[in-house]
Amino acid sequence: MWPGMRILPAAASLPIASLLLACATPVPEAPLLAFGKSLASAWDAPGAPGQAIVHADEAGKLWVQDDRTKKRPLASGVDHAGFELTTAARGLGDDGRTLQWEWLATLSRSPQAGLAVLSIHDTDGRLAHEEVLLEPCSRLAWRDGEAPELLVGCTDRVWRYRPGSSSEAVVTAAQFARSGSALGPLSFGDGEARVRAALQLAGGVCHEPCKTWGIQLDGREFTLLPQFQDGALSRLTVFGPRRPRSAWRTKVKDDWSALVAEVTRDEAAENAPYPSATALAEVPETEGIFYAQTHSPQREGASATIGLFRNETGNARGFGAIAVISPSSSGPAPVPAAAAD
């Protein structure tokens, strides 16, 4: 033993495996603050624009970088691609290699759609708060002081965010995805810009040039066809994948059940009889399109027909679930025709 060196009794009694385990155990992450929302009396924060350090890639993922530092990802639950980004940082610093901040707020907005998403990240890029704002908002600023406090300026009011509980309603991305009176986040009368932005935020996939969209209902893939009249949403057609006859009692039925639950917003409606494949009748004035209606739900502002279709291309037959949704003021939703093609 070297001079002056001695073994501490407590450490000497620990097994080697225990010492190694203690060294290898990761330090738990500090819990994230929860930001509460309230109404501010006025905009009284500095109005200087934030640095343009937050970006969105083609997939809509947020990341932060400036001219001198490495790219760092920011957690988010929505697609920010194509939105205008406004950023404000509290405690922003830069050691020449890594951007640092205490809190980083980003407003992803679509002025044409009247929608915005507020995201607040901690210094590690973790998501502390994310909310869909159903109004045009354009200003962000952190107020000076010991506690973090963010102001968000919208058209006719200012929102305040600080640690604690909310006194105002907050619309999460999941809530927004079911907020419309027609289907998902959509309501009849929405303009084309709002339909596009709303579907993107709700997880829809644009099939360029966005005439149709891929959407998921209960984890199943569907195609959505929005139609417009005088620039306003006037009709929605939703249809499931075109499947072979062998899938009639399996995948087609599961598609149909998911579509019924979503459109009727009533899981009990799934108990309606599922027709046989031979019950489909040819739709008048169409060529090779057959249809059987199973539901005709009505709710405030919307009416729908839900059923199953069969169409024929050459010698191949395809089967699937389909729904057509229209405003109640226009009368019963029409029987699908070309939408099943």
Per residue in 303-320, pLDDT (tens digit) is 999 999 999 877 788 999
Is residue 162 located within the same domain as residue 189?
no
What pLDDT was estimated at residue 314? Answer: 75
The pLDDT, as a whole number, for residue 219 is 93
Q: What is the pLDDT of residue 46?
A: 78
Is 55 among the domain residues?
A: yes
Do 187 and 266 lie in one domain? The reply is yes
Question: Do residue 128 and residue 170 come from a single domain?
Answer: yes
Residues 154 and 236 grouped into a single domain: no
Angle at 126 between CA 64 and CA 178, to 5 degrees: 100
d(CA 118, CA 167): 17
Residues 257 and 295 in one domain: yes
Question: What's the pLDDT at 5?
Answer: 34
Give residue 150's domain range. 35-174
Domain boundary among 174, 198, 229: 174
- Looking at residue 3, its pLDDT comes to 38
> Which pLDDT score is estimated for 267?
53
Q: Which of 152, 143, 43 is nearest to 102 (CA)?
A: 143
For residue 280, tell me if it sits in a domain.
yes
Q: What is the pLDDT of residue 56?
A: 96
Tokens (6 digits) for 213: 């969209």
Q: What is the pLDDT of residue 94?
A: 84
Q: What is the model's pTM?
A: 0.84
Q: Are both 229 and 323 inside the same structural domain?
A: yes
Question: In this structure, are residues 118 and 133 in contact, taking their beta carbons and an 8 Å threshold?
Answer: yes
Quick one: CA dihedral 247, 253, 256, 258, positive or negative? negative
Q: Tell whether 190 and 155 lie within a shared domain.
A: no
Note the pLDDT of residue 20: 45
Does one domain contain both 215 and 71?
no
Q: How far apart are CA 108 and CA 116, in angstroms?
A: 5
Out of 174, 197, 217, pick the residue that ends a domain: 174
Counting the structural domains of the chain, the total is: 2
Segments of the chain with pLDDT less than 70:
1-29, 47-49, 266-271, 331-341
Residues 83 and 157 in one domain: yes
Residue range 33-65, pLDDT digits in tens: 899 999 999 998 876 667 789 999 999 999 999
Which pLDDT score, from 0 to 100, does residue 103 have?
96
- Residue 279 is assigned to a structural domain of this protein: yes
pLDDT of residue 281: 93
Q: Is residue 262 part of a domain?
A: yes
The residue out of 119, 146, 174 marking a domain boundary is 174
In a domain, 27, yes or no: no
Q: Does 257 share its domain with 123?
A: no
b (16+ CB within 10 A) / e for 158-176? bbbbbeeeeeeebeebeeb
Number of Cβ atoms within 10 Å of the Cβ of 203: 18
Domain identity same for 323 and 246: yes
